Amino acid sequence: MDDQAAAGEGGPEPPPEPARAGPIAGGLVTETLAYDGGRQVTVYVPPDTPEVVVFAGDGQEISQWGGLLEAAGVPSTMIVGVHGLADETSRLHEYSPVFDAERFAAHEKFFVKDVRRWVRSRFGVALPIERTAVFGVSAGGELALALGLRHPGIYGAVFSGSPGAGYKPPAVMPGSIPRVYLVAGTLEPFFLDNANRWAAALRDAGADVVMGERVASHGAALWQGEFPLMVAWAFGPRSGSAQGQGGGVGVRDEDG
């Protein structure tokens, strides 16, 4: 998929209407981990063996989007949703490295190291880079970009919806960059400018980038419609190997 396909042949289009399943076939597991006095993580566990694992900020919301993927025919996807803070200033300090470096680094360690270790132990899945993504929207879109660029050996794809402007493209990009899918709406020009700035910088660095532009405002309708397209772009169509007990994410990665 290129930018023209993401935006529509004749220019930006409304976000796609996500396919709606009935009650989700998968399940939701929420546990509290030992970070910052106790931080909840909610995991959407798909009905079939996971082929893909997507880690996300604002996990109290994004973990609920598993049904959208079930109905879309994408690879069986586990969503690991790390809950975000209700206070917006504290949330920004965890999600963007430019405001409070110490706070960001503590959350980064929890998200990248501790949560991944817990997922492997709790659910018995390994996390190969080619089947692992990081996803976020708004300030969480900044988090996804920051973690993807800082840990390209862990996340093979970055999904960023309507990223904020706190964390901007660094002057010197890392030598290895994950594939990146950005999306923003024409009715949220501030966030669209941010996304386009990132797309241009990433392309200049030689990264594989999609920049989706939709006739949409800042909100869940835009991001939910694009989420299945992001997964399909990064990981292809659903295979038959994950049905029942066969196939799935089963190759242990090197980062313990």
With bands split at pLDDT 50, 70 and 90, how would you rate the model's confidence at 22?
Answer: low
Exposed / middle / buried, residue 190 (Cβ in 10 Å: 0-12, 13-18, 19+): exposed
Domain spanning 3-235, CATH class: alpha beta
What tokens were used for 124? 């018995």
What is residue 126's predicted lDDT score, i.e. its pLDDT?
Answer: 87
DSSP string, 185-241: ETT-HHHHHHHHHHHHHHHHTT--EEEEEES--SSHHHHHHHHHHHHHHHH-SPPST
- Percent of residues, the chain, with pLDDT higher than 90: 81
| pLDDT one-digit tens code per residue, 185-225 | 999 999 999 999 999 999 999 999 999 999 999 999 999 99
State the amino acid at position 168 in one-letter form. K
Give the pLDDT band of residue 64 (cuts 50, 70, 90).
Answer: very high
Question: Is the confidence at residue 43, as pLDDT, over 90?
Answer: yes
- Dump pLDDT digits (tens) for 118-132: 999 999 998 999 999
Domain boundary assignment for the chain = 3-235
> What pLDDT is recorded for position 73?
87
Q: pLDDT tens across 138-150, in order?
A: 999 999 999 999 9
Tell me if the pTM is above 0.75. Answer: yes
What is the mean predicted confidence (pLDDT) over 82-96?
A: 96
pLDDT at 8: 53
- What's the full length of the chain, in residues? 256
Average pLDDT of span 228-252: 65
Q: How confident is the model at residue 29 (pLDDT cuts 50, 70, 90)?
A: very high
Contact 113, 55 (CB under 8 A): no
Give the range among 72-76, 196-200, 229-233 with minimum mean pLDDT: 72-76
pLDDT number for residue 3:
59
Of the listed ranges 51-65, 96-110, 122-136, 228-242, the one predicted with least confidence: 228-242
Average pLDDT along the chain: 90
DSSP-derived 3-state class of residue 158? strand
Binned at pLDDT 50, 70 and 90, residue 251 comes out as very low
**pLDDT band for position 23 (50/70/90)?**
confident
